[in-house]
Amino acid sequence: MPNPDLSTDGDAPTAAAPPPLPPPPLTLPRPALFLDMDGVLAPLAETPDAVVPDPRRTAVLRAVADRLHGRVAIISGRTLAEIDRIAEASTASASGVHGLERRRADGSIHRADPAPEVRAAVAEFESFARSRPGIIVEDKAVSAGLHYRGAPDEGADALRLAGRLADETGLSLQAGNLVVELKTPGSNKGTALQAFMRESPFAGAVPVMLGDDLTDEDGFKAAEALGGFGVLVGPPRDTAARHGLPDVDAVLAWLNAVEESE
């Protein structure tokens, strides 16, 4: 299985990088914003716990949620508890673990039942990590994550292990930015976005999904299918997003400036 986060050596020519995408407009007709956390609202860090609350981020999220009458949701691979820790519970609506957890605007929460095979995946990942300093295993109950940002040379082996376990267990494999996850099947960021769009206060709005890595492509596609668009944060690459922003600072500045037109 190819690893999008590891470079390869050799003499093969490198394809030209896609051109930068245009920034998203500041004025939108009744937008609904769906925001990834890591790499979008918060800079990437060596370990998941190293991402901490930030007063600017919290203030921007609260301001834009108020301006858009609550039509803002964080959609992340992190758990709801981690989303609230980092964003300081600044958005009523949120979805965690790639759609397997979802909190509606009224505060009610839906959590998928964990596939029993997740326990086996956690055990295999922990065994893999014991002899490899820098590897971190994340147990999210409904999924198992294997982070190799601290040991990027182990990435190829981590992906091979995850691919084998996915074949053996039927768990869904989700590759991300120097992380691979095996999760309970049935949900992704696109299905989470679609579910929010069927509910108040999002129904009838124009969905805009901001994301940075491959886990966000389902969200980009879902937003496009519902009349909105995706915004890729970070370097240009092949993507379903139609607009782009360079980094977290640009995202927060855009959120601070975004307005709605009725």
Residues forming the active site: 36
Find, among 196, 225, 228, 195, the residue nearest to 29 by Cα: 228
Q: How far is CA 216 from CA 8, 159, 164, 189, 203, in A?
A: 24, 19, 23, 6, 21
- The two beta strands, 229-233 and 243-245, are parallel
Cis status of the peptide bond prior to 201, with omega within 30 of 0: yes
**Residue tagged 């607009």 (tokens):** 243
- CA-based max dimension of the chain: 57
Are the beta carbons of 150 and 178 closer than 8 angstroms? Answer: no
Sequence-separated (6 or more) residues with CB below 8 Å from residue 18: 236, 237, 238, 239
Cα–Cα distance for residue pair 144/173, rounded to 1 Å: 10
77 DSSP β-pair partners: none
